Amino acid sequence: NNVQVSVLGLGAMGAALAHALVTAGYATTVWNRSPGKADGLVAQGAEAAATTVDAVRAGRLVIVCLLDHASVHEVLDPIAHELSGRTLINVTTSSPAQSRELAAWAAQAGVAYLDGGIMAVPQMIGRPGASVLYSGSADVFHQYRPLLDLWGTSTYFGEDAGLASLYDLALLAGMYVMFAGFMHGTAMVAPAGMTARQFADMATPWLTAMTGAFQGFAAVIDGGDYTVKGQQSLEFSTLDTLLAASSDQGISTEAVAMVQRLIQRQIDAGHGKEGFARIIESIKHPQNPQ
Ligand code: NDP
């Protein structure tokens, strides 16, 4: 392949992305704010650029993986004129609004823009299980698809540059609440002498099995009828016992109380006999639960 690529940002993730490109034989120029982080990549065949201008001039395609949206602007604003006519792929974690803002900024500067959300840790890049979500320019996605596929499974969601960020953050919401639930359980069993390691051994198969419930909830939610037979009811799902047991162990009830509040609002609104999936109504209607 003869694509010249520049990678700005060699943190844990940027370095992993650049490593995959160098390994695949792409002519790769790298830049990082603090010196030293390019050394390993240079040893593998990358070129190190001393300035962002040098880095951008070396590549038709510029990949940006920095800390956050503010750092992306800090790096790119002064070199907008250099980026003009080139292609920018930004895989820095951003909010949908930030991604749309950067897409508009790029359009103004004459830069083709694709936004990415990485669903992987650096060690997973280029290995099975890594996935990257994209939105923005379809032309960019299709033109560079072989390169993007080096990192993981690539999925494109449409021209709205905010969609990749939206779906990325929606998946992270599920992850963080699950992680908090795991921490809660770990804290609950600690006073009884169980180590976190032992609890992890129990929780992994249990939570893995419970993901099997997602499709059932999804069928109810998409069908729009929370009264269909065969569901666990909201009344049955009350977490009072779980909250009391947590208090008895002397731990915070916050992680579980949050779920209980979502349930209780639906019960209070008269929906106690309906299915657990109905708590999505508490989430969708924060002011006025139906
Ligand atoms: P790191 O903290 O390892 O690296 C951050 C990078 O941003 C460094 O290269 C740092 O440069 C640079 N940086 C920060 N602020 C500035 C600035 N003002 N100007 C110039 N450069 C700046 O983070 P990661 O590499 O892990 O993450 C990068 C992005 O990838 C983030 O948006 C993150 O959310 C996303 N991501 C990371 C995942 C992970 O598991 N690590 C998973 C999915 C997404 P310097 O070396 O000079 O400090």
Q: Would you list the domain boundaries of the chain?
A: 4-159, 195-284
CATH number (3.80.10.10, 3.40.190.290, 3.40.50.720, 3.90.1580.10) of 4-159 reads 3.40.50.720
Residue 11 CB–ligand 1 contact under 6 Å: yes
ipTM > 0.95 for the complex? yes
CA-nearest residue, atom 48 of ligand 1: 34
* Cβ-contact 266, 278 below 8 angstroms: yes
Q: Is the CB of 92 under 6 A from ligand 1?
A: yes
* Ligand 1 geometric centre to CA of 282 (Å): 35
- Amino acid identity at 62: V
Q: What is the pLDDT of residue 1?
A: 67
Joined together, the tokens standing for residue 16 give 């992993």
Same fold for the domain at 4-159 and the one at 195-284?
no
* pLDDT (0 to 100) of residue 237: 87
Report the DSSP beta bridge partners of residue 8: 31, 64
Q: Read off the pLDDT of residues 211-235 as tens digits, 9 standing for 90 and up.
A: 999 999 999 999 999 999 989 999 9
Average pLDDT on 32-40 reads 95
Q: Interior CA angle at 159 toward 153 and 164, to 5°?
A: 45
Q: Mutate which of 31, 41, 67, 115 to test ligand 1's pocket (most atoms within 8 Å of Cβ)?
A: 67
- Per-residue pLDDT tens digits for 146-163: 999 999 999 999 999 999
Q: Which residues touch 214 (CB under 8 Å, ≥6 apart)? A: none
Sign of the dihedral defined by the CA atoms of residues 213, 217, 218, 220, in that order: positive
Residue predicted with more confidence, 237 or 158 = 158
With respect to CATH, is domain 195-284 assigned 3.40.30.10? no
Instruction: Please tell me the pTM assigned to this model.
Output: 0.92
Average pLDDT rounded to a whole number, residues 85-103: 97
Measured CA to CA, the distance from residue 151 to residue 21 in angstroms comes to: 8
Closest alpha carbon to 93 in 67, 71, 74, 112 = 67
